[in-house]
Amino acid sequence: MAEFTNKRIVITGGAGGIGIETARTFLDHGAHVVLVDLEVERLEAARAALGVNRVFTVVSDLATPADCVDIMERAKPAYALVHLAGVFERDPLLSEEHGVWDRAIAANLTTAYDMAVAFRTRTDPRAASRIVFASSVAYRRGSADRAAYAAAKGGIVGLTRALSRKYAPDILVNAIAPGLIVTRMSEQIIVERGEAYRNEIPLGRFGQPSEVASVIRFLCSKDASYVTGQTITIDGGITNA
């Protein structure tokens, strides 16, 4: 029997490149997935790409705690929450443009907190449940053009560590910190400075969404039953280069 048979996995940002590949790997191992994203059209395209009947979709911007509770009520009992949703904006660092900071914290960090709180009481009691948050190497390396984003992703790491203590032993809480992965979100950076960035990566290439998805699946698997409070970097070695 596949490891995740009949287990429900909630994936926010589920219509993105990493979200689709994460859904695919869980589906391949028997899971039911709930994809949450902003746009109906992208969710429909994601569901069509996955091509199975164990995919459910929810349109939401996760703007309020009530929105997050509604999603988890629909999905309960859930085995895992994979929180990938977020925004990635250039930060001009101007007092009159505070919206970039507000959106970065709200969409990347506050939504993670609200989803985790909603998830806690709506889990599958058959096994220790899992939360996987998406941080970024931006919090490790710093991001000169996206300071608000880097700060929010650093906050994800703090949240991961705190909840891993608070939710233990019933829920294991971990995070991933991807580097430059080939998705729609990274297109502009690749256009602007892709070659220079690639030259810094010891593996000599950008990452693929499936290479992030496989780590997420591991963190939700029985093989990671003694792993909690960790942030796993997936960057081809650039952080240590």
For residue 20, name the pLDDT band (cuts at 50, 70, 90): very high
Percent of the chain with pLDDT over 90: 80
Which of 16-25, 58-67, 124-133 is predicted least confidently? 124-133
Average pLDDT over residues 98-115: 96
What pTM did the predictor assign? 0.95
Asked whether 82 and 9 are in contact (CB, 8 A), the reply is yes
Pairing of strands 55-59, 80-83: unpaired
Query: What residues contact residue 86 under an 8 Å CB cut-off, 6+ apart?
Result: 13, 107, 108, 111, 134, 152
Asked whether 87 and 138 are in contact (CB, 8 A), the reply is no
Asked whether 7 and 79 are in contact (CB, 8 A), the reply is yes
Q: How many helices (H) and strands (E) does the chain have?
A: 9, 7
Which tokens sit at 176? 């991933």
Rg, C-alpha atoms of the chain = 17
Residues 210 and 183: their CA atoms lie apart, in Å, by 11
Q: Which residues are catalytic?
A: 149
Q: What is the DSSP string of 77-92?
A: SBSEEEE---------
Residue-wise pLDDT tens digits, 150-172: 999 999 999 999 999 999 999 99
Asked whether 65 and 118 are in contact (CB, 8 A), the reply is yes
pLDDT, residue 187, reads 80
Which tokens sit at 71? 């999603």
Average pLDDT over residues 219-233: 98
The residue among 210, 228, 211 whose CA lies nearest residue 220 is: 228
Cα dihedral 190, 194, 200, 201 sign = positive
Which tokens sit at 152? 């929010």
17 pLDDT more than 60: yes
Helix (H) or strand (E) holding 55: strand 55-59
3-class SS at 135? coil
pLDDT, residue 241, reads 55
Residue-wise pLDDT tens digits, 84-97: 999 988 888 888 88
